[in-house]
Structure 1
Amino acid sequence: MASEKHVMLIAVDDSAHSMYALEWTLDHFFVPFGSLQPFQLVAIHARPIPISILQLAGPAATAEIIPMMEVDLKKTAARITEKVKELCKKKSVNEVDVEVMEGDPRNVLCEAVDKYNAKILVVGSHGYGPMKRAVLGSVSDYCAHHAHSSVMIVKKPKT
């Protein structure tokens, strides 16, 4: 009976911090092992729900905007998916699944951990200070406290 690989999830979005975390993970957990890669890699992109963005826009936003936003969010998700696959291919990691899930990234990532029974969740750190973190919330902090797996937070070095 062949043993199945453990699942490693990585959160991806359109930020440089996210792509750095992906590249760092590939370099440290996949590239050195060649064909004996220890994990099945699954990249998760949390796509916002258009109505949640419209709520932030206020009453001036109308339902006519939703279809345009939907198209834009789908294009962004497709672009992110392509970037992930290109970076993995460049690093000779040919087995990667990319899933786009709708919702708040904090909830989406914790749900994905449960869905895939992941052993580890990798998230990039945006490096927000205390004020931005208080206003925007920290996805990595939330996941570290609520995900049912180990959480690795990858910080991009300051340039």
Structure 2
Amino acid sequence: MRILLAVDGSPGSEAAVDEVCRRPWPPESEVRVVTVLSPIDYILMQEAAHSPVNFDDILEQQGMEAAKRLSEIVDDLAQRAPGLQVTPRLLEGLPKEAIVDEAEQWSADLIVIGSNGYGSIKRFVLGSVSLAVALYAPCSVEIVRHLPIQSRSDLSSLDSDSPWQ
């Protein structure tokens, strides 16, 4: 099985990594961990800068940080899920498109992606990467939601009469 794990450093993507580690996968399963460097970030930095800034240096720094994050996730997966074959891949472009394109080119069977849990206004303005991936992916998509600690404790305190148990 080929699993494309899309990460961005958010709590939602950390939950997606946890979910991949938690699952029993078929033997010989492969995980490709991807993160996307977006040109939108570059444009926003240019507009926000009040003084001259070398944006190439900033982009290079972002790329190094993303590569480091990918390496850490690969190491974490190797330790927590040793049966998986894991490879990192740093992509460039719009995250929505880059993830779907990579899944298509790599022939992924499943995309696992975290939800950032934006409210309706932020989702309208920023768009939802996980929703776009779910709508346009060439394979199944699992969207993993990060539950804050308080929400987890709320779930554990449900009555036995609750329909959620």
TM-score, structure 1 normalization: 0.82
Asked if residue 73 in structure 1 is aligned to residue 62 in structure 2, the reply is: yes
Contact 1:45 1:100 in 2 (8 A): yes
- Equivalent positions of 1:43-122 (< 5 A) are 43-49=33-39, 52-57=40-45, 58=47, 60=49, 64-93=53-82, 95-122=85-112
CA contact (8 A) 2:71 2:88 kept: no
Give SS of 1:9's match.
strand
Correspondence for 1:7 among 2, 5, 8: 2
Indicate the structure (1 or 2) with the bigger Cα radius of gyration.
2
The DSSP-based 3-state class of the residue aligned with 2:8 is coil
Letter of the 1:17 counterpart: G
Secondary structure of 2:138's counterpart equals coil
Return 5+ residue gaps in structure 2 as ranges.
150-165
Is 1:44–1:99's contact at 8 Å kept on the other side of the alignment?
yes
Closer, same or farther in 2 for the Cα pair 1:101/1:158, shift >3 Å?
A: same
CA offset at residue 105 of structure 1? 0.7
Are 2:122 and 1:129 equivalent residues in the alignment? no
What is the distance in 2 between the residues matched to 1:59 and 1:131? Answer: 22
2:154: which partner in 1?
none
- Residue of 135, 139, 142 corresponding to 2:132: 142
Q: Deviations over 1:108-135 (max 9, x none)?
A: 1010111111111111011111111111
Name the aligned partner's letter for residue 42 of structure 1: R
Instruction: Give the unaligned 5+ runs of structure 1.
Output: 1-5
1:27 aligns with 2:17: no
Q: Hey, what's the Cα distance between the residues in 1 that align with 2:77 and 2:135?
A: 29
Amino acid at match of 1:98: P
CA deviation string 1:39-88 (max 9, x = no partner): 21111111123xx3342242857885222212211221122112212211
Q: Residue in 2 aligned with 1:3?
A: none
CA separation of 1:108 and 1:62: change in aligned 2, threshold 3 A: farther
Aligned pair in 2 of structure 1 residues 92, 151: CA closer, same or farther (>3 Å)?
closer
Given the superposition, is the C-alpha separation of residues 103 and 112 from structure 1 closer, same or farther in structure 2, using an over 3 Å criterion?
same
Q: Structure 1 29/105 Cα, relative in aligned 2: closer, same or farther at 3 Å?
A: farther
Matched residues, number: 147
CA RMSD across the alignment: 2.1
Distance 1:23 1:122 in 2: 11
